[in-house]
Structure 1
């Protein structure tokens, strides 16, 4: 039981007859530069019960009335609990299937995980860790929304690395034996979602046992080619890490006034998440390319090559990608040159870590140079036609490499990968109490 991070929650869900197409609203950290999206959402919801009234879209996070908005959210949470808008289900989990326009649905399990098993600081060896660096400055304004809240509606997605699809996928062969909790379209191009309720019992025991098996040290070492020196990583936060970090910060506040016995069972210790297998076919992991503005091509290539040499690598510029599969290779283009930056014997386990570490060093010594993170090689081609711009094409990312990168290198560099478009992000549906 030492490595069990999960808990079967008592989920809060709207009462029968609620219009779930108005209840479910996309994660608050989406469309942060598009107030029109949220204004349209507000018009769609109208006076209907909705998670829009229980969360603060981050487009409004720096508005002058944010304190009033937050107070209204807290009052609405209390109202929904007291007037029966929200009901408490028996202990159990929700099996979800979300269609959002692709060829296959995203499948997951909604349950709770222990914030005592999560740490976001650099060098953490916790069983639940972020995939990318946590920006701690983003936590305080979000913490103000959580302080004073009686419930949570997190949009966190936890990834597991289950290539044999043993834990989540077999449950979809049994949906006829589960009760359907919801089956609804999602507003604003969100697609369609179905959820089945699985009460606590033999099925949930099997889910938790399967997740706990991801902590088997021997199997873990074989999977990643590592030793006991590398910390176990059964769970990686793939989406909503700042929501999870805020929940952690809140729990650290709450626990200060509790006895050990009270801490063990306090609802704020556990956060609601959707667990998804990284090998789920709906998850398209796309590389994010790099472009620099205001650079001299030869100077950049010379300094990057020297940096990697100083790190014990062999680095050089080639005309095409070499045959060496172990090298990290980055096709580049500028207005006056194309080629490939090659780094042999890299000290970082995945190519994006090698590239970003070198670029960070270069940017630190060239403060006038700017960087951006680009989806699509066609955009790189267009932007690098202008003198002074240079773009690096990052290679495709193997799903196994995401976990491997965190295991060996720590949290991955910022903008390592993209996982889905904005409209595919999680919609708020289930809730959980965080006060007794």
Structure 2
């Protein structure tokens, strides 16, 4: 069942058999805890020899070890083995209504669907129904493609945002009495996961109709103040996985004849969880920048000089307290003046850029970092969650931390519509233990 006008499909879902321990089956997204091998070693010890999605993924903490090709081969082999060994229940066609109780106690609501990869473009200025929120890293994309390329199954950690401030699409579904089919505690303090199944075709069509209204010209113009726009879905988590799925589909597509290409091949779609950007359990936070292995005060002056050579008028201002830094940044910031507040070996300051060549502060930061790291190859750039972490690490003698501005939920889709994707590593939609766990699977081949 497909709704081509909104790139939406109804997945044929594979869930583990009832006798399988779901608390060992479901593991967190492969791109989490990449600097904490002890986390993944503990996951392995918890899973032991029981069937688990751990066998179907490539945790990226191991991305640079010596078993890269062997790990990918094992993943592909395990996918086929799980099907032949009868690990899954019979396929079920429908949407999954997700209730994820987070470790914080908040409940995040979602809807598992498939999206048509033909309607996605990872380029920043694309005008497709499905868009990226921020740039991708080639190394991460290549690793995901190696897994997806020859995969016979998919299990998603992809979270895709919809912009529904009145909560009219996902949230009301919980009052409709759809049967609960999954309910268990997630491992490693991940919270609780509940699934309800939506099979009725009329219910599914009604959901699709509500989504379709979001791309009607009058709705788009009233909400974002623009015309000729069709943005409906924006990547939340799993941007690299979705891009890898599209790359794999293009490779498969090139081997098909015209008739086969127009058919609904399962690899043409990717299974994702739709979540509402305005869900009370979702916190949108900026990702800050930390530069180490530099003399921080010299680095500040270098940033100013590089920005001045790129056509802007930049200057350095020093402040004496965090409150003064916040007040001064707020007073100066405008469309024609960008501010980069920072902590350099404990000293507070602001790089003020007038007539910036970039349209947004994240773009200005990204451009400045590119210029700086090109000339200072010994410097290391880290992407930091939480101002308090910059407060701490920015006190080190070789560290320069930049505070990125807060991001309003109301501005995310409008910014993508007007300016394109954010720079890489700009937005966070939750802490590591709040990320999606792998649970449901879907076949990527015509017959399983």
Fold shared per TM-score above 0.5: yes
Do residues 121 (structure 1) and 123 (structure 2) align? yes
In the alignment, what sits opposite 2:202?
Answer: 202
Query: Contact (CA 8 Å) 2:214, 2:220: kept in 1 or not?
Result: yes
In the alignment, what sits opposite 1:272?
Answer: 271
Greater mean deviation of Cα atoms: 162-171 or 120-129: 120-129
Aligned-partner SS, 2:135: coil
Root-mean-square deviation (Å)? 2.6
Over residues 282-337 of structure 1, what are the superposed CA-to-partner deviations in whole Å (9 max), with x where a residue is unaligned? Answer: 111122222333341662463266267x25x7877485235466354333333485
In the alignment, what sits opposite 1:408?
Answer: 418
Task: Indicate how the Cα distance of structure 1 residues 172 and 66 shifts in structure 2: closer, same or farther if over 3 A, else same.
Answer: same
Do residues 218 (structure 1) and 218 (structure 2) align? yes
Query: Contact (CA 8 Å) 1:121, 1:134: kept in 2 or not?
Result: no
In the alignment, what sits opposite 1:40?
Answer: 42
CA distance in 2, matches of 1:314, 1:159: 36
Aligned-partner SS, 1:194: strand
Query: Contact (CA 8 Å) 1:54, 1:74: kept in 2 or not?
Result: yes
Equivalent residue in structure 2 for 1:380, among 372, 378, 390 = 390
Query: Contact (CA 8 Å) 1:244, 1:271: kept in 2 or not?
Result: yes
In the alignment, what sits opposite 1:417?
Answer: 427
In the alignment, what sits opposite 1:281?
Answer: 280
User: Unaligned 5+ residue runs, structure 2?
Assistant: 320-327
Greater mean deviation of Cα atoms: 379-388 or 403-412: 379-388
Query: Contact (CA 8 Å) 2:76, 2:150: kept in 1 or not?
Result: yes
Q: How do 1:149-298 and structure 2 match up within 5 A?
A: 149-174=151-176, 177-228=177-228, 231-263=229-261, 264-292=263-291, 293-295=294-296, 296=298
In the alignment, what sits opposite 1:87?
Answer: 89
In the alignment, what sits opposite 1:49?
Answer: 51
Task: Indicate how the Cα distance of structure 1 residues 186 and 268 shifts in structure 2: closer, same or farther if over 3 A, else same.
Answer: same
Greater mean deviation of Cα atoms: 238-247 or 73-82: 73-82
Query: Contact (CA 8 Å) 1:333, 1:339: kept in 2 or not?
Result: yes
CA distance in 2, matches of 1:290, 1:80: 42
Aligned-partner SS, 1:101: coil
User: Unaligned 5+ residue runs, structure 1?
Assistant: none
Over residues 348-367 of structure 1, what are the superposed CA-to-partner deviations in whole Å (9 max), with x where a residue is unaligned? Answer: 55432233233333443444
Aligned-partner SS, 1:26: coil
Equivalent residue in structure 2 for 1:16, among 8, 15, 18 = 18
Task: Indicate how the Cα distance of structure 1 residues 291 and 21 shifts in structure 2: closer, same or farther if over 3 A, else same.
Answer: closer
**How far did residue 343 of structure 1 move?**
4.3
